[in-house]
Chain A
Amino acid sequence: MTGKTLYDKIWDAHLVKQREDGTALIYIDRHLVHEVTSPQAFEGLRLAGRKPWRAGANYATPDHNVPTTTAERSQGLAGIKDRVSKLQVATLDENCREFGIFELDMNDQRQGILHVVGPEQGVTLPGMTIVCGDSHTSTHGALGALAHGIGTSEVEHVLATQCLMQKKMKNMLVRVDGNLQAGVTAKDVVLAIIGKIGTAGGTGYTIEFAGDVIRSLSVEGRMTICNMAIEAGARAGLIAVDAATLEYIKGRPLAPSGEQWQQAAQAWIQLRSDADAQFDLEVTLQAEHIEPQVTWGTSPEMVAPVSGKVPDPEAEADVSKRSSIEQALQYMGLSGGTNIQDIKLDCVFIGSCTNSRIEDLREAAAIVEGKQVAANVELAMVVPGSGLVKKQAEAEGLDQIFTAAGLQWREPGCSMCLAMNADQLGEGKHCASTSNRNFEGRQGFGGRTHLVSPAMAAAAAIHGHFVDVRKL
C-alpha cells in the first residue's frame, strides 16, 4: 500500500460517511463567519426552524464592510456611513446573539480580517477542517489544517449539520526548491507559482506546498502562500506541520495547554505526507529563478518579473489568449512591451488577508523608513490585519515610520482589497496592492490593480513607479 498525503490523512480523519456515488459526509471542526455571506444562511435556519448543530464551533467577526479611518471607527456601527453596509454588520451582531455564536464585534481589540484573526487566536489548529463563506479560507492551510471557502448554502449547511457533502479533490504537490534571493518574499513565490500553473491550474486539486523554500518561510509567510492557492484554482492549500508551526500556535488563546498541549503537539507533528505518498500532479519551481513579481493584467496569472515587460499580444499565437491579453491591456491602460518598472502608480495599498500581518508591516516599514511617498502617489495606506497586529506595530513604532513617510495608518479590516467599505480605488488609477485579486473593478470601479509583495508596494510608494527591491 502506498502512503497517504497530508490531504488524505485529514480527509480520512473527518469522514463521517462515504456514499456509494463517491460523495462523502465530512465533519467540520471550525466555521468562521463574517457579515457578507452569512445573513441569508441564518435566515434559512430561521425559516426552517433549525438551530446550529454546535454553536461553539463557530467564530464570527465583521471584516469586509468595516470603516478603516479612526474617526469613523470610533463611533462603532454609527460610523458606517453606507446604510446597506451598516445593516449587514448589525445583522451579523443580531444573528450571533440569537443563535448563540461567539462574535468579536467591530471594535473589539481582537477584531480583524477573519483569516488573520483565526490563526492569531488559536481558533485555527493543525489537522482541523475549517470552512468559511470566503474563498481565502485557504489561508489556514499554512498551519496544516484543511481549509476552504464555501458558498452561503453551505454556510447554512455547516451551521445546521456541522458537516459538508463533498467529493474528494485530487492531490497536487508544488515544490519550491533552493534559496530565495534577498528581497524575494512569499508573495513573489506564490505569484510565480500562479504564473506557472495558471488560475485554473489547481482546479479540482488540493495543493500541498513543500520544498526548502516553504520550510524556511515563517508561518506568516506560509499563510501568504496558502491564501493564494485559490488564485491558482485550488480551493485548499496545505503545508505540513513542523516545529515552526507548533512554536507559532503555542500559547494562543484557544490553543490547548499543559498536558493537552503535549498530546496535541505529538499528534500534530505527524501531519505531513508520507514519503511514499502519490500525488496526481507534481510541479517544481527553483527559488533562484524567482524575481519580485508584478501583475500587469486582470487575472493573477497575468504576472511578470520586475525586470520584465508587459507582454505584446501580437506575439501570442493562441487566439483566445491573445484576446484575453488585449482585453486586459485595454482595461489596464497599458501597451504591450512597456517595462514593468515604467508603470506609474497613483495609489498604494498595504493590507488584506494576504499581506497584513506584523512581518508584512515590518517588511514595508523597513523600505519607507526615513523616506517620502512620491508626489504622483495620491493615496498610500497601510491597513493592519487585526487590532492585535495594529497594537504590535504601534508598540514597535511602525505606525510612526509609515505616517512620517506620508502613508496613512488605518484601522483593521478587508478595506481596499475588495472595496466593500469606503476605501475605493478611483477610476483609471493604478494601484500597487499587496492583496490577492486584480480583477476588473475589484478595488473600485475602473480601478487598475497590480499585485505585489509588501516590500515592492512600499518601494513603489516611495518611487512612484515599480522598482526592483533587490537593488535598493
Chain B
Amino acid sequence: MRKYTIEKGVVLPLDRSNVDTDFIIPKQFLKSIRRSGFGVNLFDEHRYLDRGEPDADNSQRPVNPDFVLNQVRYQGASILLARDNFGCGSSREHAPWALEDYGFRVILASSFADIFFNNCFKNGLLPIVLERETIASLFDAVMTTPGYELSVDLAAQLITQADGSTLAFEVDAFRKHCLLNGLDDIALTLEDAEDIRQFEQRWQQLSPWYFTSS
C-alpha cells in the first residue's frame, strides 16, 4: 500500500445523510474479480442517467448534470465532504476501492458506519470524523467558495483551511502508523505467528468441537 502523505485538494460536498454502500457502488459492479477500475462507476446511479453495466463504455453514457460529481467546479476533487453515517450497509470493500480509484484520499463526515470506516484504512483512504457543526460550516464554505481546497496532514492530525486556520482531528494511533508507513497488515500479524500458534493449541484442547472440518 502507498505511504500516506499530506493531502491537499479540492473538496466535493455530498449533501446527504446515510449514504449507503449501494449508493457508492451498485451491486452489478461487485461481480468483478479484480480490485481496480471501480472509479468510473462511483455513485453510478446518481452520476449517470441510465443503468450502468460492468461491460459498458462509460464515456458514451448520459451523465446527470445536476449531480455534484459532474459539476465543473469539483473536478479533480480528492477530499469528500459528507454528513451522518456515511458508508452504511454492506461490507463490500468495493466501496472504498471505488472512492480511492476515483481519486479521493480523505472523507470528512460527522459519522461513519463501522465496517466501511475500517475498510477505508486498508486502502489508503483516510476517514475523519468531525463535529456536526464543523461539518455544517465546511458545507457552507464549500458551497460559497468555488475551488475550495483543504490540506490534510495525517502526521500532525491537522486540517488547514484556505485562510490558514486549522482543525484538529482524532485518528487511531495504530491505523495512523499503518497508513503513514504503507504497512501490510498481514505481514505485521504474522510477526506474532508463534503467539497465534500457542493460542490455537490451547484453544483446541479446551474447545475441540470448534476444530471439526467438513
Q: Are A82 and B31 in contact (CB under 8 A)?
A: yes
* B30, CB-defined interface residue at 8 Å: yes
With both chains docked as a complex, state the minimum distance between the C-beta of A20 and any C-beta of chain B, in angstroms: 9
Q: Are A200 and B208 in contact (CB under 8 A)?
A: no
Q: Are B113 and A200 in contact (CB under 8 A)?
A: yes
Interface segment, one of A36-44, A219-227, A306-314: A36-44
Q: Are B92 and A151 in contact (CB under 8 A)?
A: yes
Q: Are B209 and A256 in contact (CB under 8 A)?
A: yes
Which chain A residue lies CB-closest to B118?
Answer: A151
Q: Are B210 and A125 in contact (CB under 8 A)?
A: yes
Q: Are A235 and B27 in contact (CB under 8 A)?
A: no
A54–B30 alpha-carbon span in the complex (Å):
27
A85–B173 alpha-carbon span in the complex (Å):
40
Q: Are A37 and B93 in contact (CB under 8 A)?
A: yes
* B74, CB-defined interface residue at 8 Å: no
* Central interface residue in A91, A152, A267, by most chain B CB within 10 Å: A152
* B186, CB-defined interface residue at 8 Å: yes
* A393, CB-defined interface residue at 8 Å: no
* B153, CB-defined interface residue at 8 Å: no
Question: A16-B196, A40-B35 in contact; A299/B18 too (CB < 8 A)?
Answer: yes
Per-position binary interface string of chain A over residues 69-101, scored 1 when its CB falls under 8 Å from any chain B CB and 0 otherwise: 000000000000010110110010000000000
A445–B93 alpha-carbon span in the complex (Å):
21
Per-position binary interface string of chain B over residues 4-23, scored 1 when its CB falls under 8 Å from any chain A CB and 0 otherwise: 00000000000111101011
Q: Are B91 and A420 in contact (CB under 8 A)?
A: no
* B212, CB-defined interface residue at 8 Å: yes
Q: Are A125 and B209 in contact (CB under 8 A)?
A: yes
Q: Are A151 and B122 in contact (CB under 8 A)?
A: yes
Question: A135-B91, A135-B115 in contact; A420/B30 too (CB < 8 A)?
Answer: yes
* Central interface residue in B23, B26, B83, B203, by most chain A CB within 10 Å: B26
Per-position binary interface string of chain B over residues 108-146, scored 1 when its CB falls under 8 Å from any chain A CB and 0 otherwise: 000111110011001100000000000000000000000
Name B207's contact: one of A56, A127, A148, A230 (CB within 8 Å): A127
Q: Are A200 and B196 in contact (CB under 8 A)?
A: no
* Central interface residue in B30, B34, B45, B174, by most chain A CB within 10 Å: B30
Which chain A residue lies CB-closest to B33?
Answer: A39
Which residues of A are at the interface with B, using a C-beta cutoff of 8 A? Answer: 14, 16-17, 19, 21-23, 25, 27, 29-30, 36-37, 39-40, 43, 48, 50, 53-57, 59, 64-65, 82, 84-85, 87-88, 91, 102, 123, 125, 127-128, 133-135, 137, 148-154, 156-157, 160-163, 165, 167, 169, 199-200, 203-204, 230, 233-235, 253-256, 260, 263-264, 267, 299, 320, 323-324, 327, 418-420, 437, 439-442, 445-446
A-B pairs with the 7 shortest C-beta distances? A56-B213, A153-B122, A151-B93, A149-B91, A151-B119, A39-B33, A256-B209
What are 16 A-B contacts defined by CB distance under 8 Å? A22-B174, A40-B34, A59-B214, A64-B30, A84-B31, A150-B118, A153-B93, A161-B190, A199-B85, A260-B209, A264-B207, A323-B15, A419-B27, A439-B20, A440-B45, A442-B22
- 11 new A-B contacts, CB < 8 A, other than A200-B18, A254-B214, are A40-B33, A50-B186, A59-B214, A84-B32, A84-B55, A149-B90, A151-B96, A154-B122, A165-B189, A420-B30, A446-B51
